[in-house]
Amino acid sequence: NGAAPAGGEPEVCASDEFGCAKIPAGQTVKIGMGAPMTGDYASFGVDISQGAAIAVKDAGTVEGFAFELVAQDDQGAPEGGAAVANKLATDPTVVAIAGHIFSGATEAAIPVYDKVGIPMMSPSATNPPLTTLGSKVFNRVAFTDAVQGKFAADYLYSKLGFRKIAVLHDGGAYGQGLADVVRAEFTALGGEVVGYEAITPGETDYTATLSALAASAPEAVYFGGYVAEGVVLTNNMKQSGLENAVFFGCDGTFGAEFVAKTGANGEGAYAASLIPPESAAKLKFDADYLAAYGVGSGTLSPYTWSGYDSAAVLMAKVKEVAVLGSDGALYVPRGALVAAVRGTSGFTSITGDITCDAVGECNTAGPTFYIVKDGDWAQAEQ
Amino acid sequence: MKTVLEARQVSKIFGGLVAVNKVDLVVPEGSIASIIGPNGAGKTTLFNCISGFYTPELGDVLFNGRKIQGMLTDKVAAMGIARTYQNIRLFKSMTAVENVMVGFEPHLKHGWITAMIKTPGYVKEQKHIVNEASRLLHYVGLAGLGDNLALNLPYGAQRRLEIARALANQPKLLLLDEPTAGMNPQETDVMKDFIRQIRDDLGITIILIEHDMRVVMNISDQISVLDYGQKIAEGNPKEIQANPRVIEAYLGPGAAALSEKYRREKTHDA
Amino acid sequence: MEALRKKFSLTLPQNSIRIIRIIAALLLLALIIVRAMDVAAKSQFGADTWLRLSVSGLIIGGMYALIAIGYTLVYGILFMINFAHGEVMMIGTFGGYFVFEAFNAIQVSGADGNQLSFLNAYPVIAILLAFLAGMTIAALSGLFLEKFAYRPLRGAPRLVPLISAIGASIFLQNAGQLLFGPQRRQYINPVVLDRGIGWNLEVAGSTVVLTYTGIFSLILSAILMVGLYLLVQRTKLGRAMRAVAQDKKTAALMGINVDQIISRTFVISGALAGAAGVMWGIHNGLFNYYVGFLPGIKAFTAAVLGGIGNIPGAMLGGMFLGIVESVGPAVLGIDFQLKDVLAFTILILVLIFRPSGILGEALTEEKV
Amino acid sequence: MNKQSIQKSAASGMVFGIIVIFFALIGFTVVISGLIQKALGQSLGVGQMPSTSSFLIFLGLLGIWNGWRASRQDKHETLNTKKVLGRSTIAGLVAGVLVMVYALIVGVLDNRGINLRTYLSQLSSESVRFFLFNQTIVVGILIHVFYSTLMAVVGGFLALASERSRERVKSTRESIQKWSQDHWLGKLQGNPYVSYVLMGVVLLLLVLLPRTWGAYWNYVMGTVGIYVLLGLGLNIIVGFSGQLVLGYVAFFAIGAYTFALTTSPEPHNLVWNFWIALGVAVLAAALSGILIGLPIMRLRGDYLAIVTLGFGEIIRILLRSDILKDFTMGPRGVRNIAGPTLFGRSFTTDVDFMYLIILAVLLSIFLARRWQESSIGRAWLAISQDETVAQATGVNTQKYKLLALSLGAAFAGLGGALFASRNQFTGPEDHALMVSINVLVLVIVGGMGSIPGVILGAFTLKGLPEILREVENYRLLVFGALLVVMMIIRPEGLWPARRPKLEVPVGQDNEPVHLPATVGGEK
Amino acid sequence: MMLEVENLNVHYGAIHALKGVSFHLEEGEIVALIGANGAGKSTTLNTISRLNKPTAGDIRYRGVSIVETPPQDIVTKGIVQVPEGRRIFPKMTVVENLEMGAYIFSDRQRIEADIEMVFGKFPRLRERRKQLGGTLSGGEQQMLAIARGLMARPQLLLLDEPSMGLAPIIVEQIFDIISEINQQGTSILLVEQNAQMALSIADRGYVFETGKIVLEGDAGDLLEDPMVKEAYLGGG
Ligand SMILES: Nc1ncnc2c1ncn2[C@@H]1O[C@H](COP(=O)(O)OP(=O)(O)OP(=O)(O)O)[C@@H](O)[C@H]1O
Ligand SMILES: Nc1ncnc2c1ncn2[C@@H]1O[C@H](COP(=O)(O)OP(=O)(O)OP(=O)(O)O)[C@@H](O)[C@H]1O
Ligand SMILES: [Mg+2]
Ligand SMILES: [Mg+2]
């Protein structure tokens, strides 16, 4: 499209690499999302899409056109990611993608959006190589596992002064990636990794694995994975001879759920997050979220806020580039939008300052570390 | 005369039960040998030992002079021993002709690759066995029923189909386990003649387990009687019928005498 | 006769395959022992660790066993794998959870006049009611499952009910998600049965905690299993169940109401799954609509391992699987990540040597 | 009305009442009403509740169905106004009252400001009010009772009317049948040329469609195609030879990973030619079929099922485990897998790939059919019906079972390689238990042992959830329910297997019985 | 009148297995049903036991219609079937099988006594009391099936081919037992291939052919009937 100067098409469209998305009057501008909405990780998809939906509500309109969020179920798997991407890419009114959620699905989806020029802003796909594939469209507000892992290892070694830690992961791409980095960095710093194990996600009893680790008496247990397993591990540590070791999680284990479900066991546990502790924007969002969905933000997954942000950035950029055609339809030049998203700089939202670099890493700040104190997350000494 | 099958001191034990106890059996080529005996005497078990279902704990089974005990059933079948079952066991949802064609299996030469390419040789072989199978069906009296599923055939026809399938194995020895069970006298007579015909026409040696004395006494060349796993008598029909041990353990007074007895009782009551 | 016996005991098995199999089994066993001794020699694990591992294995094994019995019961009667059994357990878990939540919300004044939640004031009643609720609702769902998804398929080819069961499983899982939301929930136990507290044993210089919840689960599953075994072996209902399992038509001729017996089997199997579900919640705490899936698969494995259709087999299989999962990797010195690999490998090995499970009857001498 | 009839009506009402409540609890009422509203051409804003009228339409349809079902209790009886009125009123009332009680409870709780969503995640205040038609509780529940009864009565009378007209429908159908039999169209059936023409049309569609329907449908249909491959393969194992294999995904994984590791620059940098790698993948899968099969040939039925299930899990766990990380890339999976090339040109567009898949599917159908109709197929069938007797009839069961396993595995290997190549990525999560289950489901839903059934099954299983995307989060729920319903309605599958008829030469009755040449003593 | 069957019609899908069968049985009688394979004899018995549902017709037991009675209640009314093909429970021991026969009773002592009673009739079973049913020989299974039927203390016993596959001497015993049971007051509906024997102990008989009754009469008359003689009594 874009070749034949149709009815009311503005000029930018003809010159745009990918042409324009045309949204006829009366329709909505769609922000797509591929997320696991069913299956074991449904809570991530449901939560992040709900966060994004609030962003859509907050975004108002562009030239009188409303935004709409279309969240499709990719089950977090590559196969589903590709299917959803193909589906969304064929809808002419989808202009940008706030997603996908899991790295595997995202990786399968990137080539599809690359072909048609739909920019992505993933709230949670943290696998480092995603931004090294040379994609123009892929960006993320989450920091990569490599960055986080390095910070975490450093924090454990220098700040907390540990010399003997055990590293655990959930056997997934995300968790294992983190665990590998932490192990390498911690060893490089001079510490000793006395145990390295993977657990099977989805189980509710890891005492056996932990008991085996306890035999080598680590000072801390680093865990790369998600909150569900993090909670179980933290609770099980007390019965497995690890009552004196510190649980050190990642951004996957951050969130209200961790505190709620670990109770006293969770005191003193660490996690990382990309959100700053408090801000007016965050407070407002938290209130809106609770009102809309009846659960607190961060309860279903630790990525509620990035869900909001990724959609918010995209819609802000749509507003920048969209042009109202003479036929009353809205035209969104796709190539321009791709460039605009990549060029994001200093966009301030809940998770702080969003500035994208040349490959699409949009989180410039490193992680903030948190510790559970008196039953709530508090910013740890940085 | 040449011996087709020889059992030497064959024994089969289930837990504590000696189901077949040191049985000797010699079956000459071209004969019809019957095995009779009370229920639970071990007849079917002996068949199972011969056809490879069971490995006897003791003793040898020789087929044409070769030891066959311990062989898998398909090997035994390929060597030339075919059988039917006391409780009919057909491939129920295959057609009659297909049931028979399965019987040709040990003699097929073509495999999955030639079947995939449909080489002329394969096609010819298949044509050949369809023809042979339908001729066999015709032979056992099931002409025209080839396309019926086995489970839809009447009982008697199923018995015949089992025999046809066994014949398709091109056996030298055929084991029939109660072929006339559940048949009425008329049907039984037909089956009896048919068994004899198989032997006469095809020269196949037959071992027969049967409880119907009209059949056994009529067509057997040799009768062996088992009781509690042991062979208690052997001989031709005349000898067996007169053997007091057999009468006591197995034969009883005979059907005619019995029905006479009931009739008397009834008239007595009335 | 005597002579025969003697000779028999002297003759070697003539089946050479069997000899090979036995040799292979011995070799494998030797390999495992050597490996285990090797690991033990340089192992850093003390007696405390071994105790912890075994206890955790026993507890999880007990729950597997309980769920496995449900599989085995239904399989025994309908020769069908009730794939939705794990979901029945999930429903039971929710049942118990809501009772706990309700009792947590009710405030009563305790003996010393303090305001206490009902749960803490009357923990025994609360736990009993939670089990009652979990087992009842799970039993009911088993009943409905049978009525709507399986009964219309009586007499259909064997795999058809399996697919129906898979469908039911997908349906129930998603219904669970939609009804109660995708988030994980947590059992808030009465204080006396708090997770993490228990008897502290001093072993090899360190404290091993035998949690109350764990011991409680273990004892309860043992009681339920023994009860079920007695039910099936000793009662009329049990005998009727066995009869229906073997021949439905003839069972009807004995005056047995076949449909009713099948329904009752589902009720019992559901109730056991429900009990396992509530136990799961009490012992492990966290759960969501997905809680039944993994234990379901594991329990199914356990049932087969023990010989599917065989109740003591299911118990044995469940316990065995639980112990292999938690102790096995440590014994053999492999990653815990591979515990399922170990479990399935053992399953395969067992079935190679005993094709119908540990306690299943041998198939080799089928009567024809 | 007798007692039994009243009971039946009440039971029907009960079931429908429960259904409505269940729908409300899972939020289905809102979604369906929204769909109805959209279908009526009215727009629905984001986060907006659908209009009350669309909800009324939805409830009305359910109510009518309720009345219909309650009225037609027995096929053999004739209905009359009195019966219908009585039954449908009872059914409607019972359903209405049930729903009323539910609405009352949630309405009151919600009014008190209790947040129901803590426990029942779909029950927001908005949706509760929506369920009460945005009226006060009293008015809302009264509407429910009244409306449910009314619609049930409507449904009852519809049933009556349809019965009156059924005779007419029946005679029309008969005359159409008769016409089509007499007419040339009817005669065409069974004409071999017709099937050629049909085949031609299908082929034409297969050539044209991938070019026209766009990337999304190519992707979806490509997935369907790959599942057809898998289905055909599993059908050989389960359908033809009767071995229940629940770990089919193991072969799929072996195919995918063999292909991936031999063509990807990472981790081994082999970068083989596409076609060679494809062949190797197929062979590797087939070989693994034999290797797995050898030790477990003695197992039957569900034991085989669980062993293979375990095997599938072992493969998946190993693929993602730390010990094989350097060899298989662990949980991250292998990326940059090669796409197909031909004469130096790479053809990796969605259309090209679709053609490749179509080609593979056609080839597989051809092969599967050949085997099924051959003596191999016959031996498999015999084994699947009675293994013991098949063996005693001289069938080398071990050989044939292994053959089925490895041929079926080869298909899976092909499917896996194509899958990996198309996604240019494969990871352990692509090879989860659910794949095995899905393939088994499609084989049985289609009709076990039936090749057209497999194809239909693949469309149903992989296509249906895509179509059901309209109902968003409810798609798997609906899918599960449909699976159950489908099995109940058509237990033998959508397209059941039929044995091909053999041309049996019927012996003439007067023909003398002469002996088959090969039968009996070859002296 | 103990049992009246009137115009019974049974379909298996498209197969019309019984086409309007009517017969009756008086208290204390032995009535034999004979006929070729597939004539519908077993179907008749199964329909009386309500394992099949008739498409038309009525069955009255002591004047009360039992076509709507579920199978388990038929047994409690005193109608017990010994099915064709033995059908003992293969994984239960002989004793357990017998106990299943007495399922409708719960009086342990009475059941024990009944077991002793049937062991008296079938000493062979006593020898095998602990053996699993499935491993019994064919004849032993048949004895067990009849013995199990007796355990329910039938008033009307439906016997489906009790002599099938039995050694001649056992056949004799079985018929002895049948006539003994009958003399002790149990009415018997007997399906047999062995028409000679059946008609000798029966009072009356009916001849089935393809789903219909083609001949009926006193057993003695039937034995003399030329058609019966030719088709069902054989030459020997
Ligand atoms: N379950 C069934 N499904 C379909 N057809 C059946 C079924 N049972 C019996 N039939 C058919 O009904 C007819 C009557 O069968 P039935 O078993 O009553 O005969 P029978 O007189 O008892 O014969 P037999 O002497 O062989 O026992 C036969 O044609 C048989 O094929
Ligand atoms: N697999 C087995 N396990 C245990 N015992 C068995 C097995 N097979 C047979 N038996 C027992 O062995 C004995 C012989 O049985 P078999 O079937 O050979 O008898 P039969 O002579 O064929 O009798 P019938 O004429 O009644 O068929 C019987 O007592 C039977 O119970
Ligand atoms: Mg026998
Ligand atoms: Mg019969």
Quickly list DSSP for B95-117: BHHHHHHHHTGGG----HHHHHH
Reading the block at residue D488, the tokens are 């109940």
Asked if the model's pLDDT at residue D185 lies above 70, the reply is no
Closest CA to C258 of C155, C166, C141: C155
D46–A67 C-beta distance less than 8 A: yes
**Residues E136-158: pLDDT tens digits?**
877 788 889 999 999 999 999 99
- Give the pLDDT of residue D288: 94
Reading the block at residue D422, the tokens are 């198309």
Pairing of strands A120-122, A138-140: parallel
Tell the residue nearest (CA) to atom 30 of ligand 1.
E38
Lowest mean pLDDT among B182-191, B259-268, D175-184: B259-268
Start-to-end Cα distance in chain B: 58
Place of tokens 């993948």: D281
Asked if the model's pLDDT at residue C351 lies above 70, the reply is yes
Ligand 2 centroid vs D303 CA: distance in angstroms? Answer: 28
- Give the pLDDT of residue D253: 95
CB E43 less than 6 A from any atom of ligand 1 = yes
Asked if the model's pLDDT at residue A181 lies above 80, the reply is yes
Compute how many other C-beta atoms are within 10 angstroms of the C-beta atom of residue C366: 12
Residues 6+ apart with CB under 8 A from D152: D13, D63, D64, D66, D67, D70, D88, D89, D91, D92, D93, D95
Handedness of CA C173, C174, C180, C184 (dihedral sign): positive
Q: Given CB atoms, is A38 within the 8 Å cutoff of chain D?
A: yes
Ligand 4 centroid vs E192 CA: distance in angstroms? Answer: 9
Asked if the model's pLDDT at residue A380 lies above 80, the reply is yes
Q: Are residues D421 and D472 in the same domain?
A: yes
Percent of chain B topping pLDDT 90: 34
Are D250 and D321 in contact by the 8 Å Cβ rule? The answer is: no
Give residue C50's identity as a one-letter amino acid code: W
Number of residues that make up chain D? 523
pLDDT grade for A33, boundaries at 50, 70 and 90: very high
A205–C56 C-beta distance less than 8 A: yes
Chain E residue with CA closest to B258: the answer is: E172
pLDDT grade for C16, boundaries at 50, 70 and 90: low
Q: Are residues D132 and D208 in the same domain?
A: no
Chain A 300-339, CB below 8 Å of chain C: which residues? 300
CA distance C5 to chain B (A): 9
Give residue B80's identity as a one-letter amino acid code: G
Ligand 3 centroid vs B86 CA: distance in angstroms? Answer: 6
Closest CA to B177 of E37, E137, D383, C366: E137
Compare CB distances from C368 to B22, B58, B85 and report the shortest one's residue: B85
In this structure, what CATH number is given to the domain that contains residue D410? 1.10.3470
Please confirm whether the linkage preceding B138 is cis (ω < 30° from 0). no
Number of domains, chain D: 2
Q: Are residues D214 and D66 in the same domain?
A: no
Interface partners of chain A (CB pairs < 8 Å, 3 or more) are C, D
Place of tokens 């869900």: A307
Which of D143, D165, D187 is at the close of a domain?
D165
Mean confidence (pLDDT) of chain D: 83
Which domains can be identified in chain E, with CATH numbers?
Answer: 3-78+154-232 (3.40.50.300), 89-150 (no CATH)
Q: What is the per-residue DSSP string for A190-231?
A: T-EEEEEEE--TT-S--HHHHHHHHTT--SEEEEES-HHHHH
Compute how many other C-beta atoms are within 10 angstroms of the C-beta atom of residue E107: 10
Asked if the model's pLDDT at residue C23 lies above 70, the reply is yes
Distance (Å) of CA D503 to CA B129, B132, B143, B146, C277? 12, 12, 13, 9, 59
D238–C160 C-beta distance less than 8 A: no
CB E17 less than 6 A from any atom of ligand 1 = yes
D430–A77 C-beta distance less than 8 A: yes
Compare CB distances from A108 to D220, D330, D423 and report the shortest one's residue: D423
Reading the block at residue D413, the tokens are 């290997």
- Give the pLDDT of residue C52: 84
C284–A232 C-beta distance less than 8 A: yes
Tell the residue nearest (CA) to atom 24 of ligand 2.
B39
Q: Given CB atoms, is A208 within the 8 Å cutoff of chain C?
A: yes
Q: CA-based angle C53:C56:C61, to the nearest 5?
A: 120
Distance (Å) of CA B270 to CA B260, E32, E175, E203? 16, 19, 19, 11
Q: Are residues D232 and D96 in the same domain?
A: no
Tell the residue nearest (CA) to atom 12 of ligand 1.
E17
Measure the CA–CA gap between C305 and C357, rounded to whole angstroms. Answer: 5
Tell the residue nearest (CA) to atom 1 of ligand 1.
E12
Measure the CA–CA gap between A163 and E65, rounded to whole angstroms. Answer: 88
- Give the pLDDT of residue E77: 92
Are C278 and C92 in contact by the 8 Å Cβ rule? The answer is: yes
Measure the CA–CA gap between D128 and D142, rounded to whole angstroms. Answer: 15
Interface partners of chain B (CB pairs < 8 Å, 3 or more) are C, D, E
Mean confidence (pLDDT) of chain E: 87
Region C47-57: mean pLDDT is 85
Measure the CA–CA gap between A103 and A109, rounded to whole angstroms. Answer: 10
D28 is a domain residue: yes
Measure the CA–CA gap between A250 and A225, rounded to whole angstroms. Answer: 7
Q: What's D340's DSSP letter? A: P
Which CATH architecture is the domain C45-353 placed in?
Orthogonal Bundle (1.10)
Q: Which of B10, B12, B14 to mutate to test the pocket of ligand 2 (most atoms within 8 A of CB)?
A: B14
Measure the CA–CA gap between C49 and A214, rounded to whole angstroms. Answer: 8
B55–C11 C-beta distance less than 8 A: no
- Give the pLDDT of residue A318: 94
How far, in whole angstroms, is CA A260 from its chain's centroid?
Answer: 22
Q: Are residues D205 and D160 in the same domain?
A: no
Q: Which of E8, E9, E11, E12 to mutate to test the pocket of ligand 1 (most atoms within 8 A of CB)?
A: E12
- Give the pLDDT of residue A238: 83
Compare CB distances from A79 to D115, D325, D430 and report the shortest one's residue: D430
Q: Which 3 state secondary structure label does DSSP give D121?
A: coil
E167–B250 C-beta distance less than 8 A: yes
Give residue A4's identity as a one-letter amino acid code: A
CA neighbours within 13 Å on the CB side: how many for A239? 28
Please confirm whether the linkage preceding D267 is cis (ω < 30° from 0). yes
D503 is a domain residue: no
Are C60 and C283 in contact by the 8 Å Cβ rule? The answer is: no
Ligand 3 centroid vs A222 CA: distance in angstroms? Answer: 70
Region B175-191: mean pLDDT is 85
pLDDT grade for D517, boundaries at 50, 70 and 90: very low
Measure the CA–CA gap between A358 and B20, rounded to whole angstroms. Answer: 87
Q: Which of E8, E16, E42, E51 to mutate to test the pocket of ligand 1 (most atoms within 8 A of CB)?
A: E42
pLDDT grade for E191, boundaries at 50, 70 and 90: very high
Nearest atom within ligand 1 for CA of residue E45: 18
Mean confidence (pLDDT) of chain B: 86
Answer yes or no: is the ipTM higher than 0.90: no
**Residues C235-250: pLDDT tens digits?**
889 889 989 988 888 8
Q: Are residues D157 and D300 in the same domain?
A: no
Q: How many helices (H) and strands (E) does chain C have?
A: 14, 6
Measure the CA–CA gap between D120 and C181, rounded to whole angstroms. Answer: 7
CB E12 less than 6 A from any atom of ligand 1 = yes
Ligand 4 centroid vs C80 CA: distance in angstroms? Answer: 29
Ligand 2: lining residues by beta carbon, under 6 Å: B 14, 17, 19, 37, 39-45, 86; C 365, 367; E 135-140
Contacts of D480 in chain C (CB under 8 A): 167-174
Closest CA to E90 of E127, E122, E135: E135
Ligand 2 centroid vs B93 CA: distance in angstroms? Answer: 28
CB E158 less than 6 A from any atom of ligand 1 = no
Give residue A27's identity as a one-letter amino acid code: Q
Measure the CA–CA gap between E18 and E41, rounded to whole angstroms. Answer: 9
Ligand 2 centroid vs B211 CA: distance in angstroms? Answer: 15
Residues 6+ apart with CB under 8 A from D371: B112, B115, B116, D236, D240, D377, D407
Measure the CA–CA gap between D494 and D379, rounded to whole angstroms. Answer: 25
Compare CB distances from C368 to B14, B48, B58 and report the shortest one's residue: B48
pLDDT grade for D269, boundaries at 50, 70 and 90: confident
Chain C residue with CA closest to B89: the answer is: C368
Q: Given CB atoms, is D302 within the 8 Å cutoff of chain B?
A: no
Are C86 and C128 in contact by the 8 Å Cβ rule? The answer is: no
CB B14 less than 6 A from any atom of ligand 1 = no
Are B13 and C365 in contact by the 8 Å Cβ rule? The answer is: no
Q: Are residues D118 and D263 in the same domain?
A: no
Ligand 2 centroid vs D99 CA: distance in angstroms? Answer: 63
Tell the residue nearest (CA) to atom 18 of ligand 2.
B42
Are C187 and C27 in contact by the 8 Å Cβ rule? The answer is: no
Q: Are residues D161 and D210 in the same domain?
A: no
Reading the block at residue A183, the tokens are 């192990």
Chain B 75-114, CB below 8 Å of chain D: which residues? 76-78, 82-83, 85, 89-95, 97-98, 101-103, 105-108, 110-112
Burial grade of C222 (CB within 10 A; 0-12, 13-18, 19 or more): middle
Q: Are residues D353 and D451 in the same domain?
A: yes
Give residue B194's identity as a one-letter amino acid code: F
Distance (Å) of CA B156 to CA B159, C61, C107, E127? 5, 54, 78, 34
Domain that holds residue D358: 198-489
CB E47 less than 6 A from any atom of ligand 1 = no
D344 is a domain residue: yes
Taking each helix axis from N to C terminus, what angle separates D3-25 and D28-39, rounded to the nearest 10 degrees?
80
Burial grade of C274 (CB within 10 A; 0-12, 13-18, 19 or more): buried
Tell the residue nearest (CA) to atom 6 of ligand 2.
E135
Which domains can be identified in chain B, with CATH numbers?
Answer: 1-80+171-270 (3.40.50.300), 89-168 (no CATH)
Contacts of A127 in chain D (CB under 8 A): 332
Asked if the model's pLDDT at residue C364 lies above 50, the reply is no
Distance (Å) of CA C16 to CA A72, B71, C31, D295, E134? 59, 10, 22, 15, 28
D413 is a domain residue: yes
Nearest atom within ligand 1 for CA of residue E40: 18
E76–C253 C-beta distance less than 8 A: no
A177–D321 C-beta distance less than 8 A: no
Chain C residue with CA closest to E97: the answer is: C243
* Beta strands in E13-164, from DSSP E residues, in sequence order: 15-25, 30-35, 56-61, 64-65, 79-82, 156-160
Place of tokens 């089935």: E208
pLDDT grade for B270, boundaries at 50, 70 and 90: very low
